[in-house]
Chain A
Amino acid sequence: MTRQRLLVISAVVLFVAAIVLIVIVRQRAARHITPQALAVPVTAPVKPGRKIKALLFYVSMDGTKLTGVEREVAYGDGHAEQAQQIVNAQLAAAATPLVSAIPPGTTLRALYLNEKGEAYVDLSKEVSTAHTGGSQDEALTIYTIVNALTTNLPAVKSVQLLVNGKEVDTLAGHIDLREPLEKNLDLVEP
């Protein structure tokens, strides 16, 4: 009876030890993977070829403004294609310590540029559904795109954001999006 008990206890101890070992190994593996995942360059997708230098915008350290960072962006043939490349670079995950004001998972569906210099940037629904919901963050999200296009492409005078192909009142309930917006450098830290 005593031997049987000892066997059962040993089996339980071994089982627990095995579980703990597995958890530790998985945690270490995860820690090892994280830096690589964050290291995706902002200029993704990377493809060999011509590049231009562009000023991209990220959340400032104090969280209240945008900060401009110079990055290489794929060359685009013509204003509209170049605008697409800039937006795509802006939507890509930011490498630490940069923090992007674009909600994760947001993709560019289409981009139009008219003769008045108004760019229409059609973003996927995540720009709205995955947003933090703060009014300040909403302004930072909007002007990340507006400023990236108007600062780097003089041909773009103003930008209107569309969500899933449609005009929207706001992204998260605060900032008016029904008209194209002009560059706003008040939101960019000096």
Chain B
Amino acid sequence: MPSALRLSLALRYNGPVLRRTALVILLLSAPLFSQQNSFIVLTRDARRAIATTTVNEQDYVALDDLAAVFQLTVREDAIGGLTVGYKGKTILLTPDQPLASVSGRVVSLPAAPIRNAARRWLVPVDFISRALSLVYDAKLTLRRPSRLVLVGDLRVPRVQIRYDAIGTGGRLTIDATPRAASTMSRDGDQLTMKFDADAIDAANVTGAAAALPGAAAQGLIQSVRMADAVTLAFTVGPRFGAFKITSQPSDTSMRQTVDIASGAPGQAPDATPAPAPFPAPPPDLSALTPSAAPVSSVRTIAIDAGHGGDDEGAKGAEGTKEKDVTLAVARKLKAALESKMGVRVLLTRDEDRNVPIDDRTAVANNGKADLFISLHANASWRPALSGATISTALFEHQAEQAARALAPELVPAFGGATRDIEFVPWDVAQIPHLEQSATLARVIEESFHDHVPLAMTPIDAAPLRVLQPANMPAVLLEMGYLTNPDQEKQLAGADFQNTLVQALVDAVVKFRDAMDDERRAAAFPEAAK
């Protein structure tokens, strides 16, 4: 039943009280149907924009636009069902149902297909990754934060740019994930970085030039823009003197650190013909920090989706299972952290299966994760309880003392020498990280304020088995109570999960920045002053 009709019936039968409610609903819902935007479909040799419409914070794309781009056939049957065909395979859609039957397999969609004012059928953009990708010949990858759809095995690294002022100079840190080599050169007032890839995904660098505020204020770099699909162009400022580039490849990403020295005050860059890329002599390059500067403190994050398989965890009255909520949030958090921070994210499980508790922490320890977050949903004998809790590990006093007393041991090394080896007992590996874990818990709590409801005592410590062996800052997050009927609905819904994931990403960024500042201050005490 259309919502307008439903509202008019409500008005007829329920009088003035409902009339006020209906008016509020209409006022609230009006602006939600307005935004227009687009996604870029990238193939090896073409870029094509497809328009999207945002309805209730959900991005929709017109089915006939998809049909034109992906050579699909769309047929509407007499009872309103939609059949999408591709090379003899079919996807069935039913209006009002957030589901698609893909060659007989049912997959869920974040929302049901809808019809817009022009009578065109719209489907959520996730239709591409969840349904179309199952029947399409080439691999389809949806990068929602970057508004990209990749067709085929394309090398499209995510590129993140960061600028830090250091004295009179500055440092550009450019991360490409997955790893992609790049070269930098200077041509007049343009400093260009070209990547060895099919395209780059630089969500924060749009078509127009984006400013790097700190760099512009120093007169070093005015702006950055995409020169073409694989090239970033930085416009240098009047004080730009020289630059030095250092590559730091890791398993998953390539970091290019560009140290910039300032030239003589007021000197225009084009006043000196620049013998790029290393003009000599660099005016005050010696004042820059060493190129072997510490890399970011958070490059790998392990996310644990609590419970799984026959261990269902807590259960709500409506049947919501903790194991399902934790897996859904873990997947969303992985995608968000990877796209927004360019970090490597390890999941302790990516399907509905039982993982022994020590194996979960082993994923984090063996993967050399810099952070570990275990996701859970709470339950209580008292159904009124609600709100999130962030817990750190707690140890019996004696175990803590014994672990802290452990000293590095000297072991023989090649050539008759000895070297320090740090032995970390499995059960107490978390002890040296307790302080940072407490900081992480506080940062998450701050980030949750006004976004995610918190419990009466939002931070606590308990002898949590999954955290005790974690050899990195680690917290266990109880996202809310499944035994509270309102919270059960929230926890099972995409809106709450998305808000929670965003708040967690913000917290992890804040934690990383704080840790990086600490490291930088320790490495360069002068610069920190």
Contacts and interface: CB of A to CB of B under 8 A. Distances in A.
A76 B343 CA distance: 60
Given A59-B382, A63-B380, A135-B378, A170 B357 contact: yes
Contacts of B483: 132, 134
A165 interface: no
Contacts of A179: 396
A169 interface: yes
A169 B380 contact: no
B314 to A, nearest CB: 3
B357 A63 contact: no
A99 interface: yes
A174 B381 contact: no
Contacts of A137: 379-381
B463 A132 contact: no
Interface in A123-150: 132-137, 139-140
Given A59-B381, A137-B381, A174 B314 contact: no
A134 B357 contact: no
Contact of B476 (A63, A64, A139, A174): A174
Contact of B385 (A64, A101, A170): A64
Contact count band on A: 20 to 34
A173 interface: yes
A137 B311 CA distance: 16
Interface string B366-378: 0000000000101
A131 B306 CA distance: 16
Contacts of B385: 62-64
B427 to A, nearest CB: 8
Interface string A150-190: 00000000000000000001101111111101100000000
Given A132-B483, A133-B313, A182-B396, A99 B464 contact: no
A174 B462 contact: yes
A176 B463 contact: yes
B314 A136 contact: no
A64 B462 CA distance: 13
Interface in B310-361: 311-315, 322, 357-358
Given A99-B382, A101-B381, A173-B357, A135 B456 contact: no
Contacts of B391: 135
Interface in B474-497: 476, 478, 481, 483
B322 A99 contact: no
A24 B42 CA distance: 68
A170 B382 contact: no
Interface string B274-299: 00000000000000000000000000
Given A132-B381, A135-B391, A62 B376 contact: no
A140 B262 CA distance: 62
A172 B478 CA distance: 14
B144 interface: no
B376 A135 contact: yes
Given A134-B481, A173-B357, A174-B376, A99 B381 contact: yes
A55 B456 CA distance: 27
B384 A63 contact: yes
B456 A62 contact: yes
Contacts of A136: 378, 380, 389, 478
A135 B396 contact: no
Contact of B456 (A64, A172, A178, A181): A64
Nearest to A175: B463
Given A139-B462, A170-B357, A176 B468 contact: yes
Nearest to B380: A63
B465 interface: yes
Contact of A174 (B358, B455, B456, B464): B464
Interface centre among B381, B396, B464, B481 (most CB of A within 10 A): B381
Contacts of A134: 314, 378-380, 478, 481, 483
Contact of B465 (A61, A100, A140, A174): A174
Given A173-B306, A176-B465, A182-B396, A135 B382 contact: no
B7 to A, nearest CB: 37
B66 interface: no
A145 to B, nearest CB: 15
A59 to B, nearest CB: 5
B171 interface: no
Contacts of B357: 169-170, 173
B313 A173 contact: yes
Interface string B53-75: 00000000000000000000000
A3 B381 CA distance: 59
Given A174-B464, A176-B468, A133 B456 contact: no
Contacts of B378: 134-136
Contacts of B358: 169
A62 B382 contact: yes
B466 interface: yes
Given A59-B382, A134-B483, A176-B465, 17 more contacts: A62-B382, A62-B385, A63-B382, A63-B385, A64-B457, A101-B381, A132-B483, A133-B313, A133-B322, A134-B380, A135-B391, A135-B464, A137-B381, A169-B358, A174-B464, A175-B462, A178-B465
Interface of B: 306-307, 311-315, 322, 357-358, 376, 378-382, 384-385, 389, 391, 396, 455-457, 462-466, 468, 476, 478, 481, 483
Complex A-B, nearest 7 residue pairs according to Cβ-Cβ distance, in ascending order = A63-B382, A134-B379, A133-B314, A132-B379, A176-B465, A134-B378, A63-B385
12 contacts: A62-B456, A132-B381, A133-B314, A137-B379, A169-B465, A173-B307, A174-B465, A175-B462, A176-B463, A176-B464, A176-B468, A177-B465
